[in-house]
Structure 1
Amino acid sequence: MTEDTPFPTQNRSPKDWWPEMLDLAPLDQNARDSGPYDDDFDYAEAFEELDFEQVKADLEEVMTSSQDWWPADYGHYGPLFIRMAWHAAGTYRTTDGRGGASGGTQRLPPLDSWPDNANLDKARRLLWPVKQKYGKNLSWADLIVLAGNVALESMGFETFGFAGGREDEFEPDAGADWGPENEMESWDRFDEDDDLLGQLGATVMGLIYVNPEGPEGEPDPEWSAQRIRQSFSRMAMNDRETAALIAGGHTFGKVHGADDPDEHVGPEPAAAPIEDMGLGWESDYGSGMGDDTITSGIEGPWNSTPTMWDTSYLDNLLNHEWEAHQGPGGAWQWRPVDADEIEDAPTAQDPEGEQTPMMLTTDVALKKDDDYREIIEEFQNDPRAFLEAFSKAWYKLIHRDMGPPERFLGPEVPEETMIWQDPLPDRDFEPVGEDAAAQLKDEILDSDLTTQQLVKTAWAAASTFRVSDKRGGANGARIRLEPQRSWEVNEPDQLETVLSTYEEIKAEFNESRSDGTAVSLADLIVLGGNAAIEEAASEAGYDVDVPFEPGRVDAEEERTDEESFEALKQPADGFRNYVGEAFAEFDRKPEEHLVDQADLLDLSVEEMTVLVGGLRTLGATHGDDRGVLTDDTETLDNDFFVNLLDMGYEWEEAGEDGATTVYEGYDRDTGEVAWEATRFDLIFGSNSRLRTIAEVYASEDGEEEFVEDFVDAWHTVMTLDRFDLE
């Protein structure tokens, strides 16, 4: 190298050179542990060792001890900690289950540097002494949420409860798509009907929900109400819960916009200089803190009692008229028309000082929208109803991504199980043993059901699981209930045949037992898939035993929220070679969606590959035989990989079928079409990395390994929702 040639400072990845290359990083993340703890570390056990009351006492001590380096507003950090917990949990979205407080990802990029999280880095630094004291017994994820709960209680609010059990992540979620924009606080994510595209939940890049100034920076309350309803509904909240959360959260604290952030505020943590030690948003306005703080650019409290639970927010909003103006930070906010008649609040650092309350466009939206207004008027007239609505909505907000209540830890877990927790009945029978399971497998295989039907049904039930929010899976057999029973991908007519056969087997078996054992439909569905795989492997000459852990139960229809479960429906299923009409909303290629789906199933690259190959070989595809590159779907062999990589076939694009691009594989000798496939199939031959794995399975000595790996990966998917086995 010459003196004028700079030494390279970083390596470039293949994707840097070829941006269109399929990104497999989310699946690589699934295949490794990135944290510092040993493999045998059990966070649940560690959490249960805590002196929970002492932890809460320590948090309250932090909350009421103002620090010179970041002084507390009104002498209490409670409102700051509520915002921190809210913004950690509020990233959750029903569409793919991603986001939420679990993992403590607010302390990692990009979330730690989102504009909406400005100055929350200070909140987490204030909590460091508590985290340092309790170490691995208390995750950051639990600590952030618990701090918000304790903050509410310390200011007079009665919370509904708290559950621990959120384990920390130590690297950002490589599978999370936060939006298509290239700049923060932009909003290229709406269709022509002003609906959010794809799986996104927030309306603006870098914000948790909506722009507090109003949509696209316009102080339009009616438009804001529309955006609020759309965004909050994608985060599992109905109108009543939404109104309660906004009104309850804005009962506390203030917003900060002493001056224009563009003029005075430095870079976010991810872009800050190394000497700032991970802190960002340094301000040169005045002291840069306290009454001089600049966060959102909006300035002021909502009421005169910013550290007390009461109805003063509702009274101010409903009892006064408000007009839009640009505050000292240059942002749109609302001031009372009758400012002389509203009770002033103290200033943040001087209890003797006075500041006129303000409102955000998102607050005024609750008043201008008829449905929201009816709710907040009820809350104003019935403070107990307000308290109960906010307590339950807050509890839902901070626990929505944790999955079923059996994962909840600690002394403050409520006895009540809510419908949004996908409740399952307690098992009132003994699960079947090995002999009974073998008998049931024989009965299933002796029925008229085919290998394809058995495998398809088990996959359809189990593959609804999402590791992101621990929802879905085979347990509960909700595939027999709406909405799953009618999903196109599940081929309802064929599914009905399978389920009715299973119901007959279940009834006859359970009636014949006198020892207290029984089988659920959920167990039968998984057992049937296992039996079909064992039979198909035997046809290929391999004696395999697919592990089976009985104990699943069947969900009750009245305890299944049909609308909530509709969110589990995938717009495409690459494992079954299915693309639905809704896939057009997603700006991604089919193979990219396959990776996303595999990520939600917590699979590695190798597991995704072997599952696709096995399901194709067994003919477990949607509707037709596209991608089934074999003439014998009753045998579990490596034909899919062998024929996909066979240079005796030449592939050509043959056109579109609905939302699916079809490819035909021509026999080079005869010129005849031998196979049909989609991008879901060809990616395993065209992508260099996936091809390296496919070549292993397609080799003459690779079939046995293929069968063994398929069984392992299949069992993984069948038990993803079995938290009772952990």
Structure 2
Amino acid sequence: MDAKTGEMSGGCPFHGDGGTRALFGRTNKDWWPDALDLSILTQEGKSVDPLGEDFDYCEAFNAIDYDALKADLTALMTDSQEWWPADYGHYGPFFIRMAWHAAGTYRTSDGRGGAGSGQQRFAPLNSWPDNGNLDKARRLLWPIKQKYGNHISWADLFVLTGNVAIESMGGPTFGFGGGRKDVYEPETVYWGTEDLWVDQGAETRIIPDEGKALETPLAAIQMGLIYVNPEGPGGNPHDDEGMARDMRETFARMAMNDEETVALTAGGHTFGKAHGAVPADQLSGSPESEALELMGFGWATDADQIGEGHITTSGIEGAWTNTPDKWTENYFRLLLDYDYELVQSPAGANQWQPINPKEEDMAPDARDPSKKVPTMMTTADMQLKRDPEYRKISERFRNDHEAFKDAFARAWFKLTHRDMGPKARYLGPEVPSEDLIWQDPVPAGTKPSDSAVADFKAKVMGSGLSVSELVKAAWASASTYRNSDHRGGANGAHIRFDEIRNWAVNDPEELGKVLAKLDELRGDISMADAIVLAGAAAVEKAAKDGGFDLSVTVSTGRGDARREDFDAESWEPLEPFADGFRNYLKTKATVKTEDMLIDRANLLGLSVPEMTVLLGGLRALGAVSKHADHGNSIGVLTDRPGVLSNDFFVNLLDMGTKWRTVDKSGDEEFVGTDRKSGEEKWRATRTDLVFGSNSQLRALSEVYAANGNEAKFASDFVKAWTKVMDADRFDLKMAKYH
């Protein structure tokens, strides 16, 4: 994303060699072929969660002795352990890095990454070069996690520990919200297609001279990094323009502007040191590749060297300030007042050292406070001084320390909470009262009476709006929801803002007509409720026309977002490049459209059966996009569109139909003809035909196409439909915990 224009600079969001490789990149098995494979034990929907579906983490968290937990964490900060001693006698900087790197994988493009589920415990993140030695930070926390058990998740503990670390060194924090539930297996996330980790020579993902931009949805500049290469683009310490460009691009893709970038960099580097005291070839492998007897530890070095502080992580060596265990004003003073020269660390990394530093501006040795060593800056730090825009912010923060404190506290809170979604999901005594625009605040709504709902639904069905139009409007509103960072959804009725309504996938002209009519009819019902209730009324009508007496019981009481609380730029990444449910594809991509359907279903939190029945039902209801290149009826495999029927599956699996590609469609569009007469019967896309060609999806399609399962199809569709409509109702789901 361009920091000024908000435009995504990666072009098509799906590159690579096609298929799921381009969506999900290398798997853990690709990186570690000898790793133990547990997947056979998770077949047939078997859960890996030892706590089970009935475990209520929110309830458990609310029962914790929060003050005691924070006291224990504060004590841990200075409880230096012989097996991994604390730099300067304080683990605070180490834990800040742990929390930062747990949260810093978040990216706005698809909402994936972040600290929300404790993924840092698992591969590949636990073995990324940028996460070197954080395995030790997590082990230092184990006694506290063991003590408080199920009352605190690893995901919450990572973030809270980072907060306590900052506070214990006198730094500012803005608050903390708990409620992150742990998962117990690695999530499938596309981290890139590179075959090498960054420390094995992988090149940067941006090469302007070759027309190479940072691919969407990626945010980090190289495989295995959280943000940028601190030595410079591709390790080049003299590419100032490229370093500033990389910082601006990757931080923007993690939802940070220039001021937040400067505040986070300076605030984080006020504390602690980088580690590059010995050549990297003296280290062992990452945690995921190490010998059993190391018990999950990686990057092992000699115990005597550890005791002396001879550790290598990034390869850069030294503290940024002369007071690495305290919150001070020294970072900007040292950065801006001194001239710096390029030197190499003992590990061979490029870094910058102040020329002729005063003795009082030198840092204590990490293990021996009686010794003084030079401070340093990375190439990334130097851009806060060299880049004109970053320099202005740095000068302002240097001259107004209170502004810097506030900016850092807010940026840190945003970094560690951005992926939590609505504020209603936050738990605990330190949740800030202030509403922040990046939380997509929505005013509380009012639940309409049953009679008001019934009256409104009757008016809607007599308005002349079709089932297809009403279903499409409700789907357009609710399906913006992302299960990754819990953004989007029907609550707030953001769909009525032009920036969202005008997405091509939404058929803006038709949607505008529907929204205008619903606004006219709704009375005191919120627009957010009106859109969902109108969709429910349409589905009920379609079900009745299909012979099923079904009630679509969606929740009510949604509020309508205010224009001043709507950050249009931050909503841009939610626009779908493809939506297989509506048979929409913006333009042909290297990734197969059926793979993009799976990706969208995952973001909606759907199971395979739910995805299947929803797609078949939406096709029967005629809820396909008019703006796709392939037309507004393609995939509607029924002679009675608008009726909730299993016709899509029946006709898709009909052996009397022969399918072939349409000329010049690039294998995206297909025509189905009668085997005997050759007469054209249907038109469909790859997204449609995969439900007959893929063996697993065909098995599900056969269930819904079978005689006697018509009612099951209709019932399953309504359940899945309601799930999507109510996916974002955290104001209801979390009410009992507040």
Establish whether TM, by shorter chain, passes 0.5: yes
| Residues matched between the structures, number | 689
- Any conservation in 1 of the 2:22–2:591 contact (CA below 8 Å)? no
Is 1:338 aligned with 2:356?
Answer: yes
- Any conservation in 2 of the 1:482–1:562 contact (CA below 8 Å)? no
- Write the mapping of 1:386-465 to structure 2, written as runs, cut at 5 A: 386-427=404-445, 429=446, 431-465=447-481
- Any conservation in 2 of the 1:627–1:681 contact (CA below 8 Å)? yes
Distance 1:302 1:168, change over 3 A: same
Is 1:643 aligned with 2:662?
Answer: no
AA paired with 1:629?
L
Alignment partner for residue 545 of structure 2, among 539, 543, 562?
539
Between the aligned partners of 1:633 and 1:21, the Cα distance in structure 2 is 35
AA paired with 1:179?
G
CA drift at 1:285:
8.4
The alignment partner of 1:292 has SS state of coil
CA drift at 1:449:
0.6
Between the aligned partners of 1:559 and 1:32, the Cα distance in structure 2 is 42
Is 1:633 aligned with 2:647?
Answer: no
- Name the TM-score, length of structure 1 as normaliser: 0.92
Aligned residue for 1:521?
A: 527
- Write the mapping of 1:190-589 to structure 2, written as runs, cut at 5 A: 190=206, 192-219=210-237, 220-261=239-280, 263-284=281-302, 287-339=305-357, 343-427=361-445, 429=446, 431-506=447-522, 509-510=523-524, 519-581=525-587, 584=589, 587-589=590-592
CA drift at 1:723:
1.2
The alignment partner of 1:294 has SS state of coil
The alignment partner of 1:635 has SS state of coil
Distance 1:246 1:198, change over 3 A: same
AA paired with 1:232?
F
CA drift at 1:339:
3.8
Is 1:164 aligned with 2:188?
Answer: no
AA paired with 1:373?
R
AA paired with 2:159?
V
- Any conservation in 1 of the 2:85–2:306 contact (CA below 8 Å)? no
Alignment partner for residue 719 of structure 2, among 707, 712, 715?
712
Alignment partner for residue 723 of structure 1, among 714, 726, 730?
730
Between the aligned partners of 2:215 and 2:169, the Cα distance in structure 1 is 39
Between the aligned partners of 2:716 and 2:298, the Cα distance in structure 1 is 47
CA drift at 1:75:
0.2
CA drift at 1:660:
7.8
CA drift at 1:284:
3.8
Alignment partner for residue 675 of structure 1, among 682, 697, 710?
682
Task: Please list every run of 5 or more consecutive structure 1 residues that lacks an aligned counterpart in the other structure.
Answer: 1-17, 511-518
AA paired with 2:594?
E
AA paired with 2:637?
L
Is 1:653 aligned with 2:653?
Answer: no
Q: CA-to-partner distance for each residue in 1:85-109, whole Å, 9 max, x for gaps?
A: 0000000000000111111110111
AA paired with 2:568?
E
AA paired with 1:235?
M
AA paired with 1:359?
M
Distance 1:188 1:538, change over 3 A: farther
Aligned residue for 1:5?
A: none
Alignment partner for residue 596 of structure 1, among 599, 604, 611?
599
Q: CA-to-partner distance for each residue in 1:211-265, whole Å, 9 max, x for gaps?
A: 111111111222111001000000000000011000100000000001211x111
CA drift at 1:137:
0.4
Aligned residue for 2:161?
A: 147
Q: CA-to-partner distance for each residue in 1:547-596, whole Å, 9 max, x for gaps?
A: 12111111111110000111211111011011114x64xx4211111101
The alignment partner of 2:60 has SS state of helix
CA drift at 1:29:
9.7
- Any conservation in 1 of the 2:21–2:193 contact (CA below 8 Å)? no
Between the aligned partners of 2:307 and 2:670, the Cα distance in structure 1 is 62
Q: CA-to-partner distance for each residue in 1:625-679, whole Å, 9 max, x for gaps?
A: 111111111211111111111121111111445x882111122122122211111
Alignment partner for residue 692 of structure 2, among 671, 678, 685?
685
The alignment partner of 1:483 has SS state of helix
AA paired with 2:473?
T
CA drift at 1:44:
1.3
Between the aligned partners of 1:188 and 1:679, the Cα distance in structure 2 is 34
CA drift at 1:269:
0.7
The alignment partner of 1:676 has SS state of strand
Is 1:55 aligned with 2:69?
Answer: yes
CA drift at 1:600:
0.5
- Any conservation in 2 of the 1:180–1:189 contact (CA below 8 Å)? no
- Name the TM-score, length of structure 2 as normaliser: 0.91
- Any conservation in 2 of the 1:617–1:635 contact (CA below 8 Å)? yes
Between the aligned partners of 1:199 and 1:309, the Cα distance in structure 2 is 35
Question: Which stretch shifts more, 329-338 or 188-197?
Answer: 188-197
